[in-house]
A and B are shown apart, each in its own frame.
Chain A
Amino acid sequence: MKSLKVLLLVLAYALICSNAYAEEKQYFQNRIDKLENRVEELESEKSRNSSSTQFSRGLSSSSSTATGVSRTFNPAISVNGLLLGTYTDQGRDDSSREVKTGMKIQEVELRFTANIDSYLHGDLTIAFEGDEVEIEEIIASLLATNNLSFRIGKFFTPFGKHNQLHTHAFPFIDAPLINEEILGEEGINEVGVGAALLLPTPWFSEIDLLMLEGENDLFNGPLNDDFLYMIHLKNLVELTDELTAELGGSFAYGRNDLVNGAYNSTKLFGADLTFKWKPSGRELYRTLIWQTEFIQSSRDVDKKGFYSLVQYQFARRWWAQGRYDFFTIPRDTVGGGGEVAQDKNRYAALVAFAPSEFSALRLQYNFLDQSAAENEHQVLLQLNFTFGSHPAHKY
């Protein structure tokens, strides 16, 4: 430190004394600027605390040796809240309905994330919904080689696009019909192990293989002394700097609790296609997303359907969105399982105002055109907010 300052003085002295050429002057001026920068930098490093990896001799670090109380290795924590107001023109007398007029806490999520040690990374998401508390995700993940990673725990499985999302990241306030009707209210959220391999292709291509406990509405692994097996393939191509196309395919196979003959295995197929566009230099103000997903299940009856949605950001803080949902249980497969053949169409429109990346107010209108029940109009209003550590955004 001192010697640097002395050096500086000497250089400054030399500069004043020399009536040498302009070139030399310039050279010294530059040296001084650079040295000044270095001095400032050293000084700031000295005053900077734990954020740098260099050791500091601050009081807090030494006292934790004795007290054992240190916040240094706490995980990054964030909280997400979803507050929901609903109006529906149906089922005022039916208290068992999922969607009914009123206000509620749709969900509160608590997220923790940290590196466990040199090998493992940990994630925990706890969800509070009504008076239920659920471990939504607990994951230990390991980067094995440069292309292969493993995860163990409980998580939203990569069956299609939407099933992987936490409620606060849903593009609409509610889940698509196919996710609700086929995969169930909770989606396929399972305990198990997964291996994801990045393929050596010129575009992004990832294959995900999973072995899961398989205990939900669709599957019953434990009953059969077996597991649920899942494979997911994700491809993403950058068509231009502004436009990407993503194509995914999913397949899941497992035994279920239907013991009578041919129906005791469940098969799920899924396919998804997403285009995402953001104009160059106007990323802050415009986005267009078009996402379509198809899911089919073969169990006691066949169920299938798709949704197609468009999300358009038309100003820095504003989004306009539309979605069409179709779900069907075809007539010809009915029998045995007790499900009645039906069709459902849902049309949804949404406007969102997002004053910052940490909060959004969203208003959604649904029209349900269904064969098995009365047609229904719904209006949903949601406040979605996050506080705590800055979450990185999934694409």
Chain B
Amino acid sequence: MKPLRSIKFIITVFCFLYPSIALATINVVATTQDIASIVKEVGGPLVKVNVIAKGYQDPHVIEAKPSFMLKVNRADLLVYQGLELEVGWLPMLIQGGRNKNVLPGRSGHLDVSSVITPMEIPVGEVDRSMGDVHPLGNPHYHLDPGNGLLMADIISDRLTQLDPANASAYKTNLENFSKRLKDKIMAWKTRMEKFQGMKVITYHASWSYLLRFLSIESAGTIENRPGIPASGRHLSELATIMKQTNIKIILQANYFEKEYSNLLAGKTNGEVVVLPVSVGGVEDAGDYIALFDILINKLENTFSKI
């Protein structure tokens, strides 16, 4: 074979191979369905997303199943919520997953909380007598849709970094998603405007970001301290607060048992509102925007009745 011909041959082969390299999908493992939903929005058909914690599960108590390690093992990108939400199981998954690409510091390792301003960072010393405190702040930040914009931004940046050939596709997807979400944010805000300044009781600090977004105040949590079930005394204190300030609503995530909330509601003529915390938390919450549609619908209905 003459040299020129062989070069031609190589170029031809390369031209055939190149598009397939560029179009290869990025294998993403997301720890929560909220992150997974945003990755899908930004990545479109260019990514394949596997999720660890389902939206109907309490993300604090997921177990480090070896089947999850297998997902981590085969991932190009691991995206997680951070702020110690996954501390009980993600280290085991990364260790057991044996995938160098997703180790801390690599381009396949993305802690989304790095672009978030966390709420409720404890001031001063923390220790375990305070319950399951999160020393880095409240990790349920996806429940502020404004944070959704930031999450999409950093996910798009990272996908672009991993797959520069499709940069324009990620950019377009990001712009589309951000535009849709921004329009929705304005609409949600407008609908909930009349309830600003109202007060509720929450079960766990799951709702801090959502309540801040809606300018609704939490007057207390049923859990004595994070992760610690209520005592009788604490419940009666809450009941007093509810009666004095005329609070009627108790918000709680659907993966917690309702007995304490129901007890308190019974004492105070209040109403327990059970809500999904994450995408996939109920069947209709199929993606990030749908989750907020459900949350806002339910809250608007409940508040309107009072």
Contact = CB atoms under 8 A, between A and B. Distances in A.
A30 B182 contact: yes
Contacts of A224: none
Interface string A344-370: 000000000000111000000000000
Given A30-B182, A44-B117, A37 B146 contact: yes
Interface string B108-145: 00000011111000000000100110001000000000
Contacts of A244: 65, 67
B101 A146 contact: yes
B212 interface: no
B263 interface: no
26 contacts: A27-B182, A30-B185, A33-B146, A33-B185, A37-B147, A37-B150, A41-B116, A44-B117, A146-B101, A203-B70, A236-B65, A237-B67, A238-B67, A241-B54, A278-B63, A280-B54, A282-B255, A283-B61, A284-B61, A317-B229, A356-B227, A358-B128, A392-B64, A393-B63, A393-B88, A393-B92
A185 B254 CA distance: 46
Interface residues of A, number: 49
- Of the listed residues A30, A53, A203, A246, the one surrounded by the most CB atoms of chain B closer than 10 A to its CB is A30
Nearest to B69: A204
Interface in A140-197: 143, 145-149
Contacts, number: 118
Given A203-B67, A204-B69, A143 B98 contact: yes
Interface string A35-68: 0010011001000000111000000000000000
A324 B198 CA distance: 57
A394 interface: yes
A22 to B, nearest CB: 9
Contact of B256 (A29, A146, A284, A394): A284
Contacts of A282: 255, 257
A198 B98 contact: yes
Contacts of B254: 281
A198 B73 contact: yes
Given A26-B186, A52-B114, A356-B128, 17 more contacts: A34-B146, A44-B118, A51-B136, A146-B99, A149-B98, A198-B70, A203-B70, A246-B66, A280-B54, A281-B254, A282-B255, A284-B255, A387-B128, A392-B88, A392-B92, A393-B88, A395-B65
B100 interface: yes
Given A148-B98, A392-B87, A393-B89, A29 B186 contact: yes
Contacts of B31: none
B202 interface: no
- Of the listed residues B70, B90, B101, B257, the one surrounded by the most CB atoms of chain A closer than 10 A to its CB is B70
Contacts of B65: 236, 238, 244, 395
Contacts of A203: 67, 70
Contact of B92 (A44, A284, A395): A395
B98 A394 contact: no
Nearest to B99: A146
A147 B98 contact: yes
Interface of A: 26-27, 29-30, 33-34, 37, 40-41, 44, 51-53, 121, 143, 145-149, 198, 203-204, 206, 234, 236-238, 241, 244, 246, 278, 280-285, 316-317, 356-358, 387, 390, 392-395
Contacts of A33: 146, 185
B128 A34 contact: no
A37 B64 contact: no
Contact of A146 (B73, B91, B117, B182): B73
B146 A147 contact: no
Contacts of B229: 316-317
Nearest to A41: B117
A206 B69 CA distance: 11
Contacts of A393: 63-64, 88-89, 92
A251 B91 CA distance: 29
A282 to B, nearest CB: 7
